[in-house]
Structure 1
Amino acid sequence: MNQMNWGLIGPGSIAHTFADAISQSERGKLAAVASSSAERGQAFAKKYNIPTVYDNYQALISDPDIDIIYIATPHSFHYPQAKLCLEGGKNVLLEKPSTITAKQIERLTELAQQKGLFFQEAIWTRFMPVLAQVKEKIKQGAIGKVQYISSTIGFAFQHREETRLFDPKLGGGALLDLGLYPIAVSQCLLDEEPSVIQAMGKVSDKQIDETTIVNMRYPSGIYSQFTCSATGHSPNVMTIVGSNGNIVLPAMFWDTDTAHVYDLAGLVETIRVPHKVNGFEYQIEESMDCVEAGQLYSSLMSHDESIGIIEIMDEIRSQIGLAFSSDIEKL
């Protein structure tokens, strides 16, 4: 088992979760960090004992000792930064959502395939073992025929001192940051993409969606409905409803280490797989497995699925009248 050196772009809040997880890896090492703020980069490196700090991204990409780069910046920066990394010959784990528009993620996957590089969207839920077990329970008929999936995801961010979700220049709003999860989990459990999408939402004067409500119908006849909100504190639970029972992913359902299985009489089983660290470890280890095997993406989250998720969100944005500036939507 060879050591794999990671580089990190953007030492913001989510990067701390990543750094905590990789610190427990037996083969992965966070060897370098790049930040537009030298002060923030130095502070992050000191906290996690990272030996190398760069004050520009190109220097990190040019480092021959770096095997893979995790991009942890706000999603409005994902497309140009991931493009720079792939053009520089680096494997990439890209924080969700992958990009602002479907055209952007399509370009990135094409580039990765042309270069023969590993390129993965980091939707951490998709790599968690509990989700795989839930999918298997559904396949086994534990709750009968699935009828619909219902979920909420939301937080009252207006009560926080600082949040990027109210900044349209950063692709703010509930949909891209939060609504992605119900779409990604539904897509995983049903193995299909919706044929009909109906959406409505409250778009603020700042041009961010405060609350968005979506109904999706799949070719199989199954439905998925969700509400995402940046101003309302939600129960944050997902329920998969079947003809003979249901499965509940309790709050916070996207950080799923527990699932409750019910039949018509009540609770049948509780599935619990506690995270070894914080939940990020699964996508980190899977990424290294794929790089070692020469795979361009994980079978748990394909390029086509990443494109499909953004295509769905493009359609939702169109229906609710949510558009961002050309600066962050451009190719």
Structure 2
Amino acid sequence: MRTYNWAIMGLGQIAHKFAESLTLLPNARLHAVASRTGAKAEEFAAQYGVPHAVGSYEELLTVPDVDVVYIATPHTEHYANTLLCLRAGLPVLCEKPFAVNTVQAQEMRRVAEEKGVFLMEAFWTRFFPAIHKALEVVASGTIGEVKHLAADFGFVAPYNPEGRLFNPVLAGGSLLDIGVYPLFISKLFLGEPQAIRAVATLADTGVDVNCAMALAYASGATASLFSTIAAQTDNQCILYGTQGQLHLTGRFHAASGIMLKLPNQEPQVIPCEKQGFGYHYEAEHVQQCLTQGLTQSPLLPLQFTQELMQQLDAIRQQIGLRYPMESIGTA
């Protein structure tokens, strides 16, 4: 079994979780890390026993034997960082949100397809065993036809105008940071909406603190989604069907199982595997794709990611959120 050499670009909190998660895969090795500063890269490398540490993203391209790059930089850098790697022929797993807007996402996809290089959004939720189980149960008709999906994600973030969550220069706000999760899960189970309506509460900096979304689908289903950085929510997802309900247990974006509520029956809990943080599930899938010579994931294709980005753009237009780095007409 081939061992894949991973590199991480951007060494913040999520990079640490990804590095720890890779240790759960017997055929994965953290081979290189890149930061804006050599000292930070060296410190990270020492912590995880990484043989190569570089102090610029460009220098990562010179490290030999890198098989795939995980991009964990801030939202606003995903576009440039991904293109840098793709143009060098390096496969990319890029953190969510994939880009700041659809124009960027389309260009990232175009370059990946032109170069024939693997590219996938790092939407780890998609690869949890609980999500696979939930999709299987819904497809089997156990809860009947899904008529409504409700999902929320929220936590309390101290107000810091310069911090990444509140700073428009860093594409801040609840929507791009955590609102993408309810939006993602609704798309996964219900497909593309026919209509989207959104309202938001904005911070003094102009980014969204609360964002409430209502979606309608051709199937007759609807969805109510919510994200906030001003309150702790239950972080849950419930699918309401004509013959019962399905709840993702635990925090839905990193679910530990499902619970079925069927008429005249006791709730049935089906636990699913959840090891560590769970980032290794997406990493394992990427390696499977690379082994098969694929340039896209069959479970999370670039078309899905692009459509999700279009939904984010539509919502931002409705709530009046535009970022300073966006030129006229790009979102």
* 1:111-126 alignment, distance < 5 Å: 111-126=111-126
Report if the CA contact (8 A) 2:154-2:231 is conserved. yes
For residue 158 of structure 1, give the secondary structure of its aligned residue in structure 2. Answer: coil
Q: Return the letter of the residue paired with 2:289.
A: C
For residue 53 of structure 1, give the secondary structure of its aligned residue in structure 2. Answer: strand
Quote the Cα distance in structure 2 between the aligned partners of 1:137 and 1:184: 18
Q: Return the letter of the residue paired with 2:56.
A: N
Quote the Cα distance in structure 2 between the aligned partners of 1:127 and 1:274: 11
* 1:199-218 alignment, distance < 5 Å: 199-218=198-217
Q: What is the deviation of 1:265?
A: 2.4
Report if the CA contact (8 A) 2:34-2:56 is conserved. yes
Q: What is the deviation of 1:61?
A: 1.7
Quote the Cα distance in structure 2 between the aligned partners of 1:112 and 1:289: 18
Match of 1:6 in 2: 6
Report if the CA contact (8 A) 1:169-1:328 is conserved. no
Q: What is the deviation of 1:141?
A: 1.4
Quote the Cα distance in structure 1 between the aligned partners of 2:145 and 2:227: 26
* 1:1-331 alignment, distance < 5 Å: 1-158=1-158, 164-190=164-190, 192-326=191-325
Quote the Cα distance in structure 1 between the aligned partners of 2:247 and 2:80: 38
Q: Structure 1 residues 209 and 98 mapped into 2: Cα distance closer, same or farther (>3 Å)?
A: same
Q: What is the deviation of 1:47?
A: 0.9
Q: Structure 1 residues 255 and 138 mapped into 2: Cα distance closer, same or farther (>3 Å)?
A: same
Write out per-residue CA displacement over residues 8-54 of structure 1, whole angstroms, 9 at most, x where no aligned residue: 10010000110001022111111110000222211111111111110
Quote the Cα distance in structure 1 between the aligned partners of 2:163 and 2:265: 40
For residue 70 of structure 2, give the secondary structure of its aligned residue in structure 1. Answer: strand
Q: What is the deviation of 1:5?
A: 0.7
Q: What is the deviation of 1:219?
A: 1.3
For residue 89 of structure 1, give the secondary structure of its aligned residue in structure 2. Answer: coil
Quote the Cα distance in structure 2 between the aligned partners of 1:265 and 1:131: 25
Report if the CA contact (8 A) 1:260-1:267 is conserved. no
Q: Return the letter of the residue paired with 1:119.
A: L
**Worse overlay, 99-108 or 39-48:** 39-48
Q: Return the letter of the residue paired with 2:178.
A: L
Q: Return the letter of the residue paired with 2:255.
A: T
Report if the CA contact (8 A) 2:32-2:63 is conserved. no
Report if the CA contact (8 A) 1:36-1:56 is conserved. yes
Q: What is the deviation of 1:64?
A: 3.0
Report if the CA contact (8 A) 1:131-1:256 is conserved. yes
Quote the Cα distance in structure 1 between the aligned partners of 2:315 and 2:79: 20
Write out per-residue CA displacement over residues 208-267 of structure 1, whole angstroms, 9 at most, x where no aligned residue: 100000001111111111110011111111110111210111341101121101102244
Report if the CA contact (8 A) 2:250-2:256 is conserved. no
Q: Return the letter of the residue paired with 1:91.
A: P
Report if the CA contact (8 A) 1:77-1:328 is conserved. no
Q: Structure 1 residues 328 and 268 mapped into 2: Cα distance closer, same or farther (>3 Å)?
A: farther
Quote the Cα distance in structure 2 between the aligned partners of 1:296 and 1:241: 35
**Worse overlay, 310-319 or 225-234:** 225-234
Q: Return the letter of the residue paired with 2:207.
A: I
Q: Return the letter of the residue paired with 1:272.
A: P
The number of equivalent residue pairs is 330
Q: Return the letter of the residue paired with 2:67.
A: D
Report if the CA contact (8 A) 1:18-1:280 is conserved. yes
For residue 324 of structure 1, give the secondary structure of its aligned residue in structure 2. Answer: coil
Report if the CA contact (8 A) 2:211-2:228 is conserved. yes
Quote the Cα distance in structure 1 between the aligned partners of 2:122 and 2:293: 18
Q: List runs of 5+ in structure 1 lacking aligned partners.
A: none
Quote the Cα distance in structure 2 between the aligned partners of 1:317 and 1:7: 33
For residue 47 of structure 1, give the secondary structure of its aligned residue in structure 2. Answer: helix
Q: List runs of 5+ in structure 2 lacking aligned partners.
A: none
Q: What is the deviation of 1:269?
A: 2.2
Quote the Cα distance in structure 1 between the aligned partners of 2:28 and 2:117: 18
Q: What is the deviation of 1:153?
A: 0.6
Quote the Cα distance in structure 2 between the aligned partners of 1:43 and 1:300: 35
